[in-house]
């Protein structure tokens, strides 16, 4: 016969959620293996409490257990009519009562807030406040234009976070302005870290806030590392006979680039030093690379075809 989870937690079957939590809190502290009370500390009892609470604190597991018992909980039960013969998943306790315990109390030192007979409880050599866990870092996207990343800029971002009051027990929500100095040449994915600017808590170390650079698209340029790609539409005549391209750079200059070569499908024109600044040394810059989209005529007259044939028949 299996365990009676209600009996394990020393409660009746009419117990509500608050009763279940209260019972687990009392018994888990009493039977924790690291308790200084050697008469009650027990690995086996502590594990039974963890499994009982894992089931009874979950409404679905509890409902299944109440109606079908431990056998139905562990073996699965048929789902509602029309589900194609599907059964519910079988319950298996993860086997780590310490994980259940820490999730319930929070932190690596869940005993920090508990006192008995006006004296702090001691578990596994820990005193209240000895151990604090650091919250997982918080990531936020920082959307920047190509112009921002070319010139550099300053961004101010307001955050709201929970801050501990002077009494050390209560907290309140306060706003704070974080300043980000964007350096010329920063790339997509650059991370800016503000240590410990997350929510504060009595038993935790605030999380780091991490901003990740996301580059907005630009109407003229496509960035490729430190190079800038610029697409030019040209006619077949221009591709064969030559032309010049006027480009307005990100720093507001107009440059004229002559194209004297034949523009074939794989042709690219490289203009050195007109790309993005390098983040480590902004005085050094990548290249501007012109790519070409040759627009062919949709149709030609017989006379035009004859003239083109004559022209192409000439020696180059």
DSSP string, 257-270: EEE-S---TT-EEE
Question: Does 92 lie in the same domain as 172?
Answer: no
Q: Examine the fold and report which residue of 171, 186, 215 is the final residue of a domain before the chain moves on.
A: 215
Question: Does 34 lie in the same domain as 112?
Answer: yes
Residue 50 CA to residue 21 CA, distance in Å, equals 11
Q: What is the pLDDT of residue 88?
A: 60
Q: What is the pLDDT of residue 194?
A: 93
Collect the ranges in the chain with pLDDT lower than 70.
Answer: 1-2, 34-42, 77-88, 106-132, 169, 315-316
Rg (CA), the chain: 35
3-state DSSP call for residue 187? Answer: coil
Residue 186's alpha-carbon distances to 117, 152, 183, in angstroms, are 58, 8, 6
Contacting residues for 91 by C-beta, under 8 A, at least 6 apart: 55, 61, 64, 73, 74
Q: What is the pLDDT of residue 172?
A: 85
Residue 276's alpha-carbon distances to 40, 107, 154, in angstroms, are 68, 46, 18
Question: Does 199 lie in the same domain as 227?
Answer: no
Q: What is the pLDDT of residue 128?
A: 44
- pLDDT tens, residue by residue, 267-277: 999 999 999 99
Flag whether 24 is in a domain. yes
Q: What is the pLDDT of residue 181?
A: 95
CATH of the domain at 173: 2.60.260.20
Question: Does 266 lie in the same domain as 236?
Answer: yes
Element (H, E) at 23: helix 17-31
Tokens describing residue 309: 């044939």
Residue 152 CA to residue 157 CA, distance in Å, equals 16
Q: How many helices (H) and strands (E) does the chain have?
A: 8, 15
Count how many residues are written for the chain. Answer: 316
Which domain range does residue 26 map to?
5-120
Q: What is the pLDDT of residue 125?
A: 45
Q: What is the pLDDT of residue 127?
A: 45
Q: Examine the fold and report which residue of 120, 154, 181 is the final residue of a domain before the chain moves on.
A: 120
Q: What is the pLDDT of residue 40?
A: 53
Q: For the chain, what is the domain count? A: 3
Q: What is the pLDDT of residue 222?
A: 95
Question: Does 229 lie in the same domain as 149?
Answer: no
One DSSP character per residue, 163-224 reads EE-TTSS-EEEEEEEEEEEEPTT--TT-EEEETT-S--BTTEEPPPEEEEEEEPP-SSEEEE
One DSSP character per residue, 45-88 reads HHHHHHHHHHHHTSHHHHHHHHHHHHHHHHH--B-STTSSS-BP
Flag whether 299 is in a domain. yes
Tokens describing residue 186: 């920063």
């Amino acid at each position: 016969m299996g365990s009676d989870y209600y009996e394990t937690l020393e409660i009746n079957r009419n117990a509500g959620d608050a009763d279940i939590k209260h019972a687990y809190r009392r018994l888990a502290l009493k039977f924790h293996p690291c308790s200084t009370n050697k008469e009650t500390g027990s690995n086996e009892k502590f594990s039974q409490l963890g499994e009982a609470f894992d089931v009874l604190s979950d409404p679905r597991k509890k409902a299944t257990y109440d109606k079908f018992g431990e056998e139905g909980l562990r073996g699965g039960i048929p789902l509602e009519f029309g589900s194609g013969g599907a059964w519910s998943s079988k319950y298996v306790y993860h086997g780590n009562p310490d994980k259940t315990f820490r999730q319930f109390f929070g932190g690596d030192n869940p005993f920090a807030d508990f006192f008995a007979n006006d004296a702090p409880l001691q578990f596994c050599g820990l005193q209240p406040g000895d151990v604090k866990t650091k919250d997982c870092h918080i990531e936020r996207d920082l959307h920047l234009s190509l112009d921002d990343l070319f010139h550099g800029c300053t961004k101010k971002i307001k955050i709201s976070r929970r801050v501990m009051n002077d009494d050390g027990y209560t907290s309140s929500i306060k706003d704070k302005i974080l300043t980000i100095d964007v350096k010329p040449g920063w790339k997509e994915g650059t991370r800016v870290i503000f240590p410990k600017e997350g929510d504060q808590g009595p038993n935790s170390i605030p999380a780091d806030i991490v901003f990740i650079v996301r580059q907005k698209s630009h109407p003229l340029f496509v960035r490729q590392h430190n190079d800038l790609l610029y697409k030019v539409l040209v006619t077949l005549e221009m591709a064969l006979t030559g032309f010049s391209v006027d480009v307005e750079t990100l720093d507001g200059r107009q440059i004229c680039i002559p194209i004297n070569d034949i523009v074939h499908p794989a042709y690219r024109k490289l203009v050195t030093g007109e790309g993005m600044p390098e983040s480590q040394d902004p005085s050094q810059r990548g290249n501007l690379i012109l790519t070409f989209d040759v627009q062919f005529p949709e149709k030609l007259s017989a006379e035009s075809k004859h003239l083109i044939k004559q022209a192409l028949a000439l020696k180059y």
